[in-house]
Amino acid sequence: MKIFFSEHWQALCVAMQFLTQFPIRLRSYPDSQVQALSLLYYPLVGAVIGGILYVFSWLLNVQSLYLQASLVLITWVVLTGGLHLDGLADSADGWMGGLGDPERTLRIMKDPCSGAIGVLALILLLVLKWSALITLLETTTLLPILLAPIFARLGAIILLACTPYVRVQGIATSMVAAMPRQGIYVLGFLGAALLAWLSLVCLLAVVIVFWLTRKMMLARLKGTTGDTAGALIELLEVTLLTAASIILEV
């Protein structure tokens, strides 16, 4: 029992260390089993991020909407260290520069420098997220801000569980090979049921974006990578925020 809780605590720390900028230090480098187990805790880390953003948004309710949205968005980026934004930029560069060739696409995505398309993708996504935040903050509907980081990370681990990982020597190769797929599918089912209960429209929007993004990955790369999984997180976050904003405006 002690070993069980120790492994899960380490897995939570690994997930928190990788997905956030919190100053978490591990005594020793986790083995592949703990790293794989950490995927189960990605939605929980999303809940921590969303909870911080929720409370921060509530505390800022006396400020102007534009200032609120800007500070919340900046906090969002700082908490994650821009990790998934980097994945989005790399994926956008690879998709446009790869010219339909899988190997060329993967090579461009591995380049640490961002091109014009990557920068443009970041600008457009951040503008859309900022606009959605303004709408939500104006109506004091903060629940989507809490939920977006949770369901985006849940979507990412479902992607990794049901899609081939194409980088043979990628940083997540061994982790994905040993990932607890059954547990992830159970989390996915429970998450879908919860979101359907909260908003069927938001669930439909998230599922459509997930399906289309995965279809594009399979068509171009025959699978996914860490960059495309990170890009999916950003796309699902902005999708849930935008869908919730549209519902409120109708």
pLDDT tens for residues 22-72?
988 887 777 778 888 999 999 999 999 999 999 999 999 888 999 999 999
What DSSP string describes 56-107?
HHHHTTTS-HHHHHHHHHHHHHHHHTTHHHHHHHHHHHHHHHTTT-HHHHHH
Per the domain annotation, does 18 fall within a domain? Answer: no
Per the domain annotation, does 3 fall within a domain? Answer: no
**Total domain count, the chain:** 1
Per the domain annotation, does 153 fall within a domain? Answer: yes
Asked if residue 166 has pLDDT above 80, the reply is: yes
- At residue 4 the predicted structure's pLDDT band, cuts being 50, 70 and 90, is low
Per the domain annotation, does 135 fall within a domain? Answer: yes
pLDDT tens for residues 70-89?
999 999 999 999 999 999 99
pLDDT tens for residues 176-200?
888 899 999 999 999 999 999 999 9
Whole domain around residue 45: which residue ranges? Answer: 41-249
Per the domain annotation, does 90 fall within a domain? Answer: yes
Amino acid letter, residue 148 = A
pLDDT value at position 223?
94
> What predicted TM-score, i.e. pTM, was given to this entire model?
0.95
Share of the chain above pLDDT 70, in %: 96
Per the domain annotation, does 2 fall within a domain? Answer: no
Per the domain annotation, does 155 fall within a domain? Answer: yes
Per the domain annotation, does 53 fall within a domain? Answer: yes
